Structure 1
Amino acid sequence: MSRRALILLEGNAYGSFAGLLYTQAAQRLDLRPITLSANPAQFYDLAADGLEVIRVDTSDLNALIDKCSELRAAYDIAGIMTAREAFYATAAKLCRHFDLPGPNPVSIERCCDKFVQRQLLAHAGIPVPAFKLALDAADVERSAAAIGLPVVVKPAVGTGSVGVRLCRDSDELAEHTAYLFGAAHLWRSSPRILVEEFAEGPLYYADLMGNEIFAIATSDFGPLPNFVIQSATYPAPLTDDEHKRIGDISLSCLRALCLGWGPTCIELRWTKLGPVVIEVNPRLAGGTNPRLAQLAYGVDFLTEHIKLAIGEQWNLRKRVSLIAAARMLNVDRDGILDRIEGDTRAAAIPGVTEVKLYVKPTTSIVRHGDYRDRIGHVIASSPTFAGTEAILDRAVDLISWSITPSEGASEDLSLKRQGR
């Protein structure tokens, strides 16, 4: 009998490790994880573990169908999925072609277009920020004037806060518009910009599987005008009424977008008018969130997602109740990383469950104002919010690094990330 295989399109995005976690979860389910990638060299970590990574043009659906058809001669393909939002619709189309469990590709494609998503949510009466679509610089200027500064300006398609910026005045608006329409920003599709009202208030994430609300987390961004995540906590400290209101809106989003298969992550802000939906992501939350959910509730969300994708029974029954949180190590300047240390001491603190550094000394640091500014993270858990925060304070305070500025200045600038 052929061994059962799980096909993964591409793999982990920078700093998220989701692809690696999916492959490990697949192995625990006695599946052979096979990664299809246009650039297999980037998955040296998988190759080092003896896992299969095959070169194929992942932007070509027919090429993927042909490759999967070839693999069926040697494996029983149990499921096809991805850890990357950019390939979710493609994975869904492959599932349809090979009659495997998967989401509706049309719903995924509409949801991944932030403008189309906003239109559908607004039409359903779900509270969203005021928004307009812009196709050129003049459109951006007119849209911002109609909505009123400050506005958030971002690509209509994208993830990880790439190209997202708060524009507080006309100068910032002109600067960011020029950047997005210039050669520096890489577009996955034709340039289309979403200009939206800046919704102020605490940030929350609702994690769902199918039509079931699994958890509601909270998170913080670093200094504006960029949106770089600096912390995340499971669960969010909410009253019963707040939890219900976020839950009700989240389920309304699924109905409006015709979602409801597999994981969904919904980002909201609690404004002075109540919860407002910022984005609906038809996928598992990124970054450290899956690890935090597992620590807080004893549920491996990735494993349950795989079970769903291979047609097996999944179970989100919570087994523990802890407060799990992460602090991100984000850089605040460009240059050459001279040293980074203290991670071993931080990992030894009781309650710290994970310390990861993504870079090594001599690495060139270039800030982007998005998830790529993260050079590591620390995760901790305890029975209380205050306890978890105290553990993270101690751990993060032990980690320090120094960066020599790109201009060649000789001064050693020691940076230490403090608090939230």
Structure 2
Amino acid sequence: MASRVLILVEGDTTGTGLLYVQAARRLGLHPITLSADPSQYDYEAVCVDTANLDALIRECSYLGATYDIAGITSSLEDYYATVGKLCRHFDLPGPNPESIERCCDKPAQRQLLAEAGVPVPAFRVAANAAEAESAAAEIGMPVVLKPAVGAGSKGVRLCRNADEVAEHTTYLLGGKHKWRSSPRILVGEFAQGPQYSIETMGNEVIGIAAADFGPPPHFVLRQFTFPEAFTDEEHSRIAGIALGCMRALGVGWGPMNIE
């Protein structure tokens, strides 16, 4: 009988990625990571261009000839749409890749949420400095500037006046920021207030935490308070907005995080 394997597409070696490996082993699965740099892992890893979907399909097909593939996943957000495409190709449970791609494109995500009646801050998309300055003037200071595609608060800054908008736009478009797609800037209204992080599994809210950030202008996460003390009404309202976001974006398979 062929061994059952869990295929991972890249992953960090000390944090969440290692937890995936440990969980796979507890379930009796053999973890194999597909990586452009397999030397960084101290367990079985296969060298493959993880930016090339066809190459990943070929490698998974090769592994499938020897092993029983129980699933394909990744601990890294950057590869989750690719994971969805692989799962679809091999008829395995997984996320909808189109939905994941919509989530990663912040202007597209906000447009879908607004159309579904979910409250979102005012926003504009800018491709150059003039458009960014015009958008900031229309929305009103202060504004938040961030890459249209990205994660982890990279390149995110609060701009309180036109000079700061010009300065950060120059930083983002001047070659210092590493873009994951064609350069576009999201200029957004600065919505002040508490921030919450909602964890879901499938279509069920399993926890809500309060997020604490360092001082502006950069939004660096310092800590979560979990569980946060809510009234039943507050918990129900926050959970309802989170589930409304998921419905609007067409997600609901596996774990999700909504902020």
TM-score normalised by the chain length of structure 2: 0.97
Counterpart CA distance in 2 for 1:5 and 1:233 is 36
Q: CA deviation at 1:58?
A: 0.7
CA distance in 2: counterparts of 1:142 and 1:240, whole angstroms: 43
SS of residue matched to 1:8: strand
1:20 counterpart = 2:18: yes
Tell me the equivalent position of 1:159. Answer: 151
Aligned to 2:53: 61
SS of the equivalent of 1:219 reads strand
The letter for the 2-side match of 1:35 is: T
Partner residue of 1:315? none
- 1:221 matched to 2:216: no
1:312-350 Cα distance to aligned partner (Å, 9 max, x none): xxxxxxxxxxxxxxxxxxxxxxxxxxxxxxxxxxxxxxx
Describe the SS at the equivalent of 2:94: coil
Does the 8 Å contact 1:152/1:164 carry over to 2?
yes
Which residue number in structure 1 is paired with residue 251 of structure 2? 259
Structure with greater strand share of residues: 1
After TM superposition, the structure 1 = structure 2 runs for residues 6-85 of structure 1, keeping only pairs within 5 Å, are 6-12=6-12, 17-41=15-39, 43=40, 46-47=41-42, 51-85=43-77
Q: In structure 1, the residue corresponding to 2:50 is in which secondary structure?
A: coil
How far 1:7 moved relative to its partner?
0.7
Name 2:93's counterpart in structure 1: 101
Letter in 1 for 2:2: S
Mapped partners of 1:153, 1:222: distance in 2:
17
Amino acid at match of 1:210: G
Matched residue type, 2:3: R
Shift of 1:183: 1.2
Correspondence for 1:5: 5
Greater Rg by CA: 1
1:24 is paired with a residue whose SS is helix
3-state DSSP of counterpart to 1:36? strand
Gaps of 5+ in 1: 268-420
1:272 maps to none
Please tell me whether the aligned partners of residues 149 and 169 of structure 1 are also in contact (alpha carbons under 8 angstroms): yes
> Does the alignment pair 1:195 with 2:190?
no
- Alignment-mate amino acid for residue 151 of structure 2: T
Partner of 1:416: none
In structure 2, C-alpha distance between the alignment counterparts of 1:256 and 1:198, rounded to whole Å: 23
Consecutive aligned runs of 4 or more in structure 1 exceeding 3 Å deviation:
none
Q: Corresponding residue for 1:308?
A: none
Q: State the SS of the aligned residue for 2:73.
A: strand
Residues 181-226 of structure 1: per-residue CA shift (max 9 Å, x gap): 0111111110011110111111101111111011101110111100
Structure 2 alignment gaps of length 5 or more: none
Measured after TM superposition, the shift of residue 237 of structure 1 is 1.5
| Structure 1 position 55, deviation (Å) | 1.3
Letter in 1 for 2:229: P
CA-based RMSD of the aligned residues comes to 1.1
What CA distance in whole angstroms lies between the structure 2 residues aligned with 1:115 and 1:236? 30
Corresponding residue SS for 1:93: helix
- Give the Å deviation of 1:40: 2.2
Alignment of 1:168-247 (within 5 A): 168-247=160-239
State the percentage of identical aligned residues.
63
Structure 1 counterpart of 2:96, one-letter code = N
Matches within 5 A, 1:329-408: none
Letter in 2 for 1:165: R
How many residue pairs get aligned? The number is: 259
Give the C-alpha shift of residue 154 in structure 1: 0.5
1:39 positional shift: 2.0
- Local SS of the residue matching 1:253: helix
Shift of residue 180 of structure 1? 0.5
d(CA) in 2 for partners of 1:260 and 1:216?
Answer: 17
Mapped contact 1:204–1:236 kept (Cα < 8 A): no
Whole-Å Cα distance in 1 between the matches of residues 154 and 33 of structure 2? 25
3-state DSSP of counterpart to 1:216: strand
Counterpart Cα distance in 2 of 1:129 and 1:12: 33
